[in-house]
Structure 1
């Protein structure tokens, strides 16, 4: 989902190599003062100005494309500031939950990933609401394409599917796991499976669903097998 404010069909490269005379040009024209004035204390906008201004385009179609974007920004300052705040909130949400994804415990990894998606889902709801409120006021090709993309991708059905997936990932009724017995009667390999129905599942139901995918021991070992399945279910339930 790209706004493409500078070019019609591509992003601007924020990691571009410096121009051969960029340092001298910046000093001669006192561009640092210009950059700080543009950023008004925003570190991200300062970096954008520092990367964009020295490589400004002299192509007529590019200039007209950017002028249309600028006209939209001037005419719809409140809407643009709201979109910028939403983008900043998304980055902040990702920054606060990013470390949990690299936790050593699988449970913590799942928790961190789920919390990240949950947080970003709220941001996407705000983005959809902002698009619905302001789309009719923008005229440029860039913003028009952005709002059409939001309308087509952030549908009510999309949000319902994400909410359903997040609910499933909480495993409130435990997790269905199949495995073969390996060395030392340890399960190997373990495989998570999707439950056939919602609600609490008995061990007998779990056995029936996994029998086709696992080597069930002899009937004399059935009690041990049932105990192992129960332990897996309790462990997965937290």
Structure 2
């Protein structure tokens, strides 16, 4: 149905164009067009029709490419496994993808124009300002870790990678590293527990060694006294003889 309407509209346009062409080429005495003039006019109309069809095909192709590009952008940006933020020089959130919005527990629309420091744990805000200043001063990419805060107050560890754009904005990549931090904490606790067990066992062995040394010392002293006593007895026996 849409194709028929399009064809009908094109035919109407060509008919109108033909009428205008005919009026322009019609002599003052309103004589009929010669066969050569009629052929030339029909040829021009056919060429124009083909041009319009080509332009229409190019427009449809451009629309398809634009749609495909938008879909790729949505997949690469909005559905990326990492969060993306664009921060103004004043610290306002200018752009964000769905992943970052999900991390921060806030709808994307509600994030825009918010200050990024609102989502940084107060204890870690100095870390953010320090790295942002270094990026601004040196103009190189910086990476660091700090704790962010969701809208519900829940804090989580994030890895951030930031660069400075030509217009002075900051592009930040966010990765939730909470699981890695938990694993590191568990490993640290296990290491501490192992160190405590080793220290305890070492002390136990040291105490045992000390006990053995004391027992051995007592035994040696006793043996020495026995030898000394035997020697004295032997001397007394010699004197009695």
Q: Give the TM bin, normalised by the shorter chain.
A: under 0.3
Structure possessing the higher relative contact order (Cα contacts under 8 Å, 6 or more residues apart): 1
Q: Which has the higher strand share?
A: 2
Taking structure 1 as the reference length, the TM-score comes to 0.23
